[in-house]
Structure 1
Amino acid sequence: MVNLEQAHTLLVSMPDAVEEAHFDKPAYKIKGKIFATFNIENKWVTLKLTPEQQNILCEDPAFYPVPNKWGQMGWTHVNLNQVKKTHFAEAVDLAYQNIISQKKKAKSKS
């Protein structure tokens, strides 16, 4: 289990991460791109994963796809009441790295 403070601390500790409002939830961004949002009231974090990463992580019942088109693109909820700290940290790092690699690809094309 990951408590709210632990989740927040991990999300803001990612290098160059910025916390900004996204509708009514905190979002965590790298150079303007969201890698996570935080639903404090329902105690879940939503991560930007690839569909392949989502398939693997959803073998753990703490992870489940967002139930709409966003979920089909890899956006995945993480139930903080169920997830192990190490598994959560690994998933946050994956989401973060996904944004970093997108930024590197976009930069190399320009």
Structure 2
Amino acid sequence: MANGETLRRIALSLDGTTERPHFDRIAFRVARNYATLAPDGLSANFRFLPDEQAFKCMLLPAVFSPVPNAWGRQGWTQGLLEPMTEEDLEDALETAWRHANPKRRHR
């Protein structure tokens, strides 16, 4: 079971990640935002490619869903933290981090 503190710990362990406010959320970023944590700490948004989003939503439909707007059509995906395993959270963060890190984008 994951939570906001688990997300913060894993995200900040990824090379170059910083934490800062982003509207009412907390953003985790390298060159750009790759994940945001909701104020209540119960959910997070992740920057995936659209095909990664589709796969995550198909694999874990009770956990992942597209953000319901144009950002969602670009791949931004909401994840509910409580039903997520720590391994699922780590995978989601590492996937999103690769898209925001210019040094790791093509891996």
Question: TM-score, normalized by length of structure 2?
Answer: 0.88
CA contact (8 A) 2:3 2:41 kept: no
Larger relative contact order (CA 8 Å, sep ≥ 6): 2
Name stretches of at least 5 consecutive residues in structure 1 with no aligned partner: 106-110
Separation in 1, partners of 2:47, 2:80: 15
CA contact (8 A) 1:46 1:75 kept: yes
Separation in 2, partners of 1:95, 1:42: 18
Which amino acid in the other structure matches residue 12 of structure 1? L
Deviation of residue 25 (structure 1)? 1.1
The corresponding residue for 1:94 is 95
Question: TM-score, normalized by length of structure 1?
Answer: 0.86
CA contact (8 A) 2:43 2:80 kept: yes
Deviation per CA, 1:61-100: give whole Å up to 9, x if none.
2011001110000000110011111111111100001112
Secondary structure, aligned partner of 1:37: strand
Aligned length: 103
CA contact (8 A) 1:4 1:40 kept: no
Separation in 1, partners of 2:41, 2:34: 19
CA contact (8 A) 1:19 1:29 kept: yes
| Structure with max Cα Rg | 1
The corresponding residue for 1:41 is 40
Q: Say which structure is richer in helix.
A: 1
Is 1:23 paired with 2:23? yes
